[in-house]
Amino acid sequence: MSRKYLIAGNWKMNTTPSESVDLISEINSLVGQQTQVQVCVCPPFTSLQMSSGLLEQSEVQLGSQNMSAEPSGAFTGEISAEMLRDLYVNFVILGHSERRQYFGETNQSVNKKVLAAVQNNLKPIYCIGETLEERERNQTLDVVKSQVQEGLESFPINEVDNLVLAYEPVWAIGTGKTATDEMAQEVHSYVRNLVVDHFGDGPGSGIRILYGGSMKPENATGLLSQPDVDGGLIGGASLNARSFCSIVQSAIEI
Ligand code: PGA
């Protein structure tokens, strides 16, 4: 089954709205008209409205880094799926390891967000991945298995086309340490088998599984060439338009 690459930039808590104008504009001028690879940028909430305007005529899609599982109401500080859709946000990163580590998110709480996202026509980029301690104890596959099974519980089969997974080994995020191509492929192919078991062969083999964790221009081609690596979730390197677009270019060339 052929899956279109998705290269997504996770800007995390970086860039003011005015700084975002420059970054979005540069990315847009470099890759905004190509359609071979899907490209998505996920700026902070405060930059979404302006980014949405700048990307109106662009092939570059907009994503957010989080959202509430609740539809509306007394949840001070939260942002709903409907608010994001109103700004033409298309993707939403959910269950990022930083959300799990610093904000107490769990497979169960992220599952509610994943379901709320697809009910509101947002495409979840559901993040999974083991810590260094878990890898050293040989628990990697068990950890990602429960993250997939619990985080995707009750996920509607007719929405599988809108689901993206991101395997991000926690020890590789922002550390400069990348999983080797083989390490990434081992986990991606295991996750592929899990989703095929869960959703059936057709739908499961269509799900895109991104790799994240210190992906940069120098290592992108090797990682993206692996049979079950369908794109990247890029943190640090996505804050530089040239680095980010060079990863997009690597995907185009594969
Ligand atoms: P990194 O971040 O590319 O800076 O390692 C990836 C991520 O956290 O999504």
Average pLDDT over residues 98-122: 98
Label residue 175 by pLDDT band (50, 70, 90): confident
pLDDT at site 162:
97
> What is the C-alpha to C-alpha distance for residues 204 and 144, in angstroms, rounded to an integer?
16
In ligand 1, the atom with minimum distance to the C-alpha of 234 is 3
Average pLDDT over residues 181-190: 96
pLDDT at site 240:
98
39 contacts 60 by C-beta, under 8 angstroms: yes
Contacts of the segment 97-101: beta carbons below 8 A, 24+ positions apart: 97/127, 97/129, 97/168, 97/170, 97/173, 98/12, 98/173, 99/66, 101/170
What does pTM read for this prediction?
A: 0.97
Label residue 176 by pLDDT band (50, 70, 90): confident
66-173-171 Cα angle (round to 5): 125
Tell which one of 215, 216, 218, 238 to mutate to probe ligand 1, the residue whose CB is within 8 A of the most ligand atoms: 215
Taking only the tens place, the pLDDT of each residue in 202-216 is 899 999 999 999 999
pLDDT at site 1:
59
CATH number belonging to the domain at 6-253, selected among 3.40.50.10310, 3.20.20.70, 3.40.50.970, 3.40.190.10: 3.20.20.70
Average pLDDT over residues 57-81: 98
Average pLDDT over residues 174-197: 93
Percent of the chain residues past pLDDT 70, beyond the cut: 100
Q: CA distances (Å), 155 to each of 144, 150, 162, 163, 170, in order? A: 17, 10, 11, 9, 25
Label residue 104 by pLDDT band (50, 70, 90): very high
Cα of 72 from ligand 1 centre, angstroms: 30
Taking only the tens place, the pLDDT of each residue in 215-241 is 999 999 999 999 999 999 999 999 999
- 163 bridge partner residues: none
Cα of 200 from ligand 1 centre, angstroms: 30
Active site residues: 96, 168
Cα of 142 from ligand 1 centre, angstroms: 22
Label residue 174 by pLDDT band (50, 70, 90): confident
Delimit the domains of the chain by residue range: 6-253
pLDDT at site 177:
83
Q: Which residue is it, tokens 């191509």? A: 181
Average pLDDT in the chain:
96
Which protein residues touch ligand 1 with a CB less than 6 Å away?
Answer: 10, 168, 173-174, 212-215, 233-237
